[in-house]
Structure 1
Amino acid sequence: MSDEFNLVNDLAESRAQVYGAYADFFSGNGSSGFAGNWSELVRYQTGVEALLEMTSGPAPEPLPEPIVMDRLYARLFQGVGERTVPLCASAYTGEHRMMCGADCRRLLDAYRAFGFLPSEADAPFADSLGVELAFMSLLAQMKAPAGKQREFLTACLIPLASTVAHELQGLETGAVGDVLAMLLRTMKSDGMLLERADAC
């Protein structure tokens, strides 16, 4: 068994916690718990990048007070600002966007295959960034095959998070932009880790 495969399994709980923290944040549950975990998320990411011998990005700033984060989040994603950026894949069509339909059915099939059911409140938003991150957390915790985890990450999560990042361009994102940038870094390195494990 390869070191990369063992590393994916050894990091399963940490990976699940990281994805779970991001899921909680991008589900709009408030940022107080997330802000308290921010330094650990940054430390985890820096460690994984070192293990993969990747060049680390710049260290992000500490997050502002949770109330400031919650206001930023509401302004960007919950219809409080002048322009709302959707966090659901089904909201996007066009050149830099994606369309739901068959993709949504495949997503729900993937959830069912691993016994994942979004909460009743989240069920209408099964293709939201928060729900997809929660599913990735479950896959990591279950130690699902690396290929299945990587497939979900590259086919669903990374495209959605990248589209959200694209939609945020030109808006004042503040620390929420830093959180999304760190999530994208985390998913990139996790994809590399899973790819190496899957190749074994």
Structure 2
Amino acid sequence: MYQQRLPIILASKSPRRQELLSAMNLDFKVVLKEVDESYPEELLPAEIAVYIAEKKAKAFDEDSKGSIIITADTIVAYNGEILGKPEDAHHATEMLTKLSGTNHQVYTGVSLICNGEMRSFYDTTEVFFNDLSPEQISYYIKNYKPMDKAGAYGIQDWIGMIAVKKIIGSYTNVMGLPTEKLYKALADQNWTV
């Protein structure tokens, strides 16, 4: 069982990640830094998620003395195409239209850094979507906030209730933080101040 001995800093503005850490009964604070999220084109989806999570963690290297910093990055991959956060409503419509009636993969890379030492991992979930009508897509985009979500959707939102036929893998991974693997990583680490 994990017993928190060090302060935890979540380096993410994602409300979903904050909710998940709270649900894990972890005591944490949120600290944000702007980080360039570009990546080398030749990387595979899982490598991209880890690469960006590690980039975010490196920005906190000097702040990691005596604290565990958690960073994460989630991407959606459809037929080899990376679907990041949509730029506008039209872009969100394009993404959700692609995902309608098909399956895609969600990758989340996570990095933990403490006292300059970094450990990273990723998780993958296969998500199967029902067919979505143009009206359903339009309703979702107008009434929810898909612009801050990879693939233009949140599994915990209304669209997740009607579109997701099944998943293979971690539900929390699709939300943006694979809590099962995070808990194990925290419990397995032997960080001291």
Q: Identify, as 1 or 2, the structure richer in strand.
A: 2
Q: Please, what TM-score do these two structures have when normalized by structure 1?
A: 0.28
Q: Please, what TM-score do these two structures have when normalized by structure 2?
A: 0.29
Q: Identify, as 1 or 2, the structure richer in helix.
A: 1
- Structure with more contact order per residue of length (Cα contacts < 8 Å, sep ≥ 6): 1
